[in-house]
Amino acid sequence: MVQFSAREKGFHNEIEAVIDVDKDNEKLKKYGQKILLKILLEQLELKNGLEKQTRRVQ
């Protein structure tokens, strides 16, 4: 079983990511971590871009 979860923490744009994979699947775990990291970074970039645009409008 592979389980991914991520959530934003606090007020400093910290992201906590948890990947739970059976011990037999170390390659899958490493691959999953790369995918999850890429997704989280893209989401953070989008969020930061929206916040900057919002500040400009105000």
Q: How does pLDDT run across 32-41, given as a tens digit for each residue?
A: 778 888 888 8
Angstrom distance (rounded) from CA 58 to CA 46: 19
pTM for the model: 0.41
Angstrom distance (rounded) from CA 37 to CA 30: 11
- Scan for tokens 């970039």, then name that residue: 45
**pLDDT score recorded for residue 6:** 59
Are 44 and 15 in contact by the 8 Å Cβ rule? The answer is yes
φ, ψ (nearest 5 deg) of residue 52:
-65, -40
Q: Quick check: 22 pLDDT over 80?
A: no
The mean pLDDT of the chain is 67
